[in-house]
Amino acid sequence: MTPVRASLSPCRKFSSSPSTRLTSSLPWFSPLQFSKAASRKPDPPTKTTATGMETQRKAKYISHETAINLIKREKDPQHALEIFNMVSEQKGFNHNNATYATILHKLALSKKFQAIDAILHQMTYETCKFHEGILVNLMKYFSKSSLHEKVLEMFYAIKPIVQEKPSLKAISTCLNLLVEAGQVDMVRKFLIHSKKNLNLKPNTCIFNILVKHHCKKGDLGSAFEVVEEMKKSRISHPNLITYSTLMEGLCESGKLKEAVELFEEMISGNQILPDALTYNTLINGFCREGKTNKARKIIEFMKSKGCDPNVFNYSALMNGFSKEGKLQEAKEVFEEMRSFGLKADTVGYTTLISCFCKVGRVNEAIELLKEMKEKDCKADFVTFNVILGGLCRAGRFEEALLMLEKFPYEGIYLNKASYRIVLNFLCQSGELKKATDLLDLMLGRGFIPHFATSNELLVRLCNAGMIDDAAMALFGLVEMGFKPEPSSWFLLVEMNCRERRLLSAFELLDNLAI
């Protein structure tokens, strides 16, 4: 097999020299073994010495299983690819489905898509049997990276590489990924191709994806047409997922009456029992329309029908009361959830914390955060971001800044939104000194502010006459790859010129011209 020459770095090339091979020509010694061996007197030469050395020099054969383990353990994708290439140089060794799947998985995790293309090209010349799962997994990785054209490419590569038509699983996976990404044109192209070239006969799963596709577009008429087609088909029939998807589409369009009618038809007409997720669709629908009392009745109805509400049902109801400013009702739902035997999780706590923060009762929100810790319920960055936003709305910037400063040292890792929330509030409140201090902290930890916020901060600093702070902020941002609006850096240059600080002005221009 010809090795895959897909370098991940322009500075590195694959080498087949002895120094870069997987196995050395000499046996490996640990440091302790080496010291013992060195202290021993060498044995006198014998007639078999040359033969012994030749045997030692023979490289150990790397099996497929060993190659897979070596690639999995290698953290650097470049080195993993070198291992993949080097084992193929062994006499009598040919890569198989497992080794290809391992290297592609490793490269996909590192988003080395150019190298993936080179591997796939090599696979078209292989004689071993491949399974479509390799390409189905790649579809998912490309979708996560928003490379939707590549999702289709992976699907179309199934037939030439696997030498078989894609299965219904592969078809439904590809279709679902495109629908979830809202790629309407690609979905249409994909369906035309599948019907024409694959003689596609949709099953229930594929029909449900099409229903979701039309509901996401807001085309409920087409969604119901698909359901009618399902009923006529011999290999599919509407199920709980079908009806739940339709109900969600109706609720999002504000058609609650129709959603309830469909709910009743599903139970009485088709003998399909709803689950907690289906009920949650109706709860969210009523809460979205400000009809929380009816949403509460849904929970009571669930209990009467033997379907136990879960944390998500109660959280949806709490959110509804929170939006209406009914904090007491939200607290009652939280307590009801716990009395029902449900352990409040991160979602439940975060929902109630958000309710308190929205009405300015931040101290009670912080007490809930402490309660979470006492009950071994781990708060996530969403929880902390809600608290940070509540503190900032209350003007308690010192506490918010202290949290940002100390949390990483306590093993609490925030995301870029955590810093951006506080920085936005500081800028809007004119707390410019605190804003520049936070910017230093952000940049030091590798977080870049939002583009608009960065420009706003620079302009505000200039207007406040804080030219040195503005210049330092700009240099720090530019080093992180930030490209300021011409208006913001022009203002800074102009301010330096007015104060006869020409050297500073030239330095700014030199740095921004790079």
Report the 3 state secondary structure along 56-68: HHCCCCCCHHHHH
**How many helices and strands in the chain, by DSSP H and E?**
29, 0
What lies within 8 Å, CB to CB, of 319 at 6+ separation is 287, 351, 354
Is the predicted pLDDT of residue 238 greater than 60, yes or no? yes
**The residue to which tokens 């849904």 are assigned:** 298
Question: What number of other Cβ atoms are within 10 A of residue 344's Cβ?
Answer: 22
Q: Which three-class secondary structure state does DSSP give residue 433?
A: helix
Select the more confidently predicted residue: 343 or 397. Answer: 397
227 close to 245: Cβ distance less than 8 angstroms = no
In terms of phi and psi (left: phi > 0; alpha: psi -120 to 50; beta: otherwise), the region of 494 is alpha
Q: Rounded to two decimals, what is the model's pTM?
A: 0.65
Q: Is the pLDDT of residue 262 over 80?
A: yes
Cβ–Cβ under 8 Å, residues 4 and 81: yes
Q: How many CB atoms lie under 10 A from the CB of residue 57? A: 11
How far are the Cα atoms of 316, 401, 408, 410, 467 from residue 441, in angstroms, in the given order? 36, 10, 12, 16, 20
More confident residue, 441 or 10: 441
Check pLDDT > 90 for residue 104: yes
Nearest alpha-carbon partner for 216 in 183, 259, 261, 265: 183
pLDDT at 196: 79
What band does 340 get if pLDDT is binned at 50, 70 and 90? confident
CB 98 within 8 A of CB 130: no
Q: How far apart are CA 168 and CA 160, in angstroms?
A: 17
Query: What was the pLDDT predicted at 99?
Result: 93
pLDDT score of 469 more than 60: yes
Contact by Cβ (8 Å): 289, 256: yes
Is residue 398's pLDDT more than 90? yes
Q: Is the pLDDT of residue 490 over 70?
A: no
Cα separation, 399 vs 424, in Å, equals 16
Q: Look at 89-93, 111-115, 293-297, 478-482 and tell me which has the smallest mean pLDDT.
A: 478-482
pLDDT digit string (tens) for 407-421? 888 888 888 899 999
Assign 157 a pLDDT band (cuts: 50, 70, 90): very high
CB of 186 closer than 8 Å to CB of 146: no
Q: pLDDT at residue 463 above 80?
A: no
Q: Above 90 in pLDDT, residue 501?
A: no
> What Å distances lie between residue 244 and 3, 90, 267, 281, 446, CA to CA?
50, 56, 12, 7, 43
Q: 150: pLDDT confidence band, cut at 50, 70 and 90?
A: very high
Residue range 195-231, pLDDT digits in tens = 778 877 778 888 899 899 999 888 999 999 989 988 8
User: Distance (Å, rounded) from C-alpha 353 to C-alpha 367?
Assistant: 9
Highest mean pLDDT among 194-208, 395-409, 476-490 belongs to: 395-409
Average pLDDT over residues 362-386: 92
DSSP 30: -
Per-residue pLDDT at 496 = 54
Residue 165 in this model has a pLDDT that exceeds 70: yes
Question: What pLDDT digit, counting tens, does each position of 12-46 carry?
Answer: 333 333 333 434 333 433 333 333 444 444 444 44
